[in-house]
Structure 1
């Protein structure tokens, strides 16, 4: 084959290779899809891109909630991010984040000169919050044998806190068997006594922890368990029963003797008006008097 023939073959192969290779389009990626930072720390939302031809693509950041709102648009930050965020390439850094900043963000790159001119990637931001002092509900008194519930809660911590209970400054271990005298739910903060006894009297407090910051405790409170006075309860019940019996017998005797009927009859006679006399009776009386 001549030199010209070989050249033609190479040119043909090159054309076929160019036509068969897929065209490159804008691609968008992130180095970290889930970002977790402490409250009031800085958060970096990574976004990198590559374009086919367009060397000056449009960069936009949006936050997805009930409605989609702009974070970065037309070369500047918007809304609550104005003045507290910076851009490096397409990567955003948010300063001193709070719970209001937590959510899902989307980085969009628009390259009109590329074959496929739009690419995007998502980043989820979680703002970690240590537990505040938990709110504790501890009854001051209870009677033996009663079911008693102690509650502990903290609604501010992220992730949600787990709870532990202390009695007289000693950690109460959650029981592993069903017939234990008490139960502890470490997720809801509930401490439940199925039937309290005198030995359950003491100072109780609750600890909340979520791995962010230091655990917090509520103020200890004393719960006193008192015995039920069985004798007084029985005596009271007997007295009440006796009174009911006496009242019932008295009412029965009154009705039986017709006492109420006689009282009713006397009231009706007092208001009785005799009928007028006939004329002949009047004449007879007049003649009798003469």
Structure 2
């Protein structure tokens, strides 16, 4: 098996970095004797290296052999069946913060780097949830469906018992990863309070409309416009016009007659 590392690094592939995981089919596990022809290989960058796993003796017919890359006590990837399998990274979870009783709700869990594609499990208060709430009597007061392939947890109608701390775990053959806990609160919807509030608003609107109608009938909204350009005073005699100017004030003009 040819391996490569990042530039400017040497590939050291001893048993402290690579481990063999033998998984056997069935319930019985038999003894297996293994041998490696190159226990401490040292290789330059971009050169090939062969890591051997020789089964000297085995009580099983077809043991499953996996190579795992361990770094900082964490599995980086798994090599099996001529394929590299990468463990999932921390999935992105979306949980609604508050949902009224009887309403639908959907929780999302997504991870895009795991290979092969991971499967998902949801937990509430550290308790694993089944794929169908109807299949478990413990969740008879819930109504949800879990899609382990897409990571969606769908509630058709939430109940008070559905409140709690939720998190999701994405897993494949190479490992698993989980998201942080998020709380979902299920609250009662106060129908009586909503109806009362609507009635109060309607009453206030009716009073405002009635007040506007009364004010209009009493003439509060009628504006009397006065002509400010010229006027004729009723207290002055007919035939005499008074004209106001800015410099002279009022002056008297008498009508002229031609005989």
Q: TM-score, normalised by structure 1?
A: 0.48
Equivalent residue for 1:27?
none
1:220 offset after TM fit, Å? 2.5
Matched, 1:274 2:236: no
Check if 1:128 corresponds to 2:85: yes
In the alignment, structure 2 segments of 5+ residues that lack a partner are 12-43, 51-68, 70-81, 135-141, 243-251, 255-259
Q: For 1:172, which of 115, 129, 140 is the aligned residue? A: 129
The number of residue pairs the alignment matches comes to: 168
Residues 89 and 113 in structure 2, CA contact (< 8 A), matched pair in contact too: yes
1:247 is aligned to 208
3-state SS of the aligned residue for 2:154? Answer: strand
Q: 2:149 aligns with which of 158, 170, 187?
A: 187
Taking a change above 3 Å as real, the CA distance of residues 86 and 258 of structure 1, as seen in their structure-2 partners, is same
Counterpart in 2 of 1:17? none
Per-residue Cα deviation, 1:7-29 (whole angstroms, up to 9, x for no partner)? xxxxxxxxxxxxxxxxxxxxxxx
User: Alpha-carbon deviation of 1:176?
Assistant: 8.3
Which has more helix, going by share of residues?
Answer: 1
Question: Which residue is equivalent to 2:20?
Answer: none
After superposition, the Cα gap between the structure-2 partners of 1:170 and 1:257, relative to the gap in structure 1 and judged at 3 Å, is same
Q: TM-score, normalised by structure 2?
A: 0.53
Secondary structure class of the residue paired with 1:259: coil
Aligned to 1:237, what secondary structure does the other structure show? helix
Quickly say closer, same or farther: Cα 1:282–1:166, change in 2 above 3 A: closer
CA shift at 1:129, angstroms? Answer: 1.1
After superposition, what is the alpha-carbon deviation per residue over 1:206-262, rounded to whole angstroms, capped at 9, x for unaligned?
A: 11112222x2222233322111222321221111111111122222333344421x2
Structure 1 gap ranges (5+): 1-34, 42-81, 89-95, 97-124
Please report how far the alpha carbon of residue 127 of structure 1 lies from its aligned counterpart in structure 2 after TM superposition: 3.6
**Superposition pairs of residues 1-290 of structure 1, within 5 angstroms:** 83-86=45-48, 127-175=84-132, 181-213=143-175, 215-260=176-221, 262=222, 264-265=223-224, 268-269=225-226, 272-275=228-231, 280-282=239-241
Displacement of 1:136 in angstroms is 1.6
CA drift at 1:200: 0.7
Deviations 1:128-179 (A, max 9, x none): 21111222222333221222221111111112211111122222111287xx
Q: Could you say what secondary structure the match of 1:254 adopts?
A: helix
| Alpha carbons of structure 1 residues 87 and 259: separation in structure 2 relative to 1, 3 Å | same
- Report how far residue 87 of structure 1 moved: 9.5
Distance 1:251 1:141, change over 3 A: same
CA distance in 1, matches of 2:87, 2:120: 13
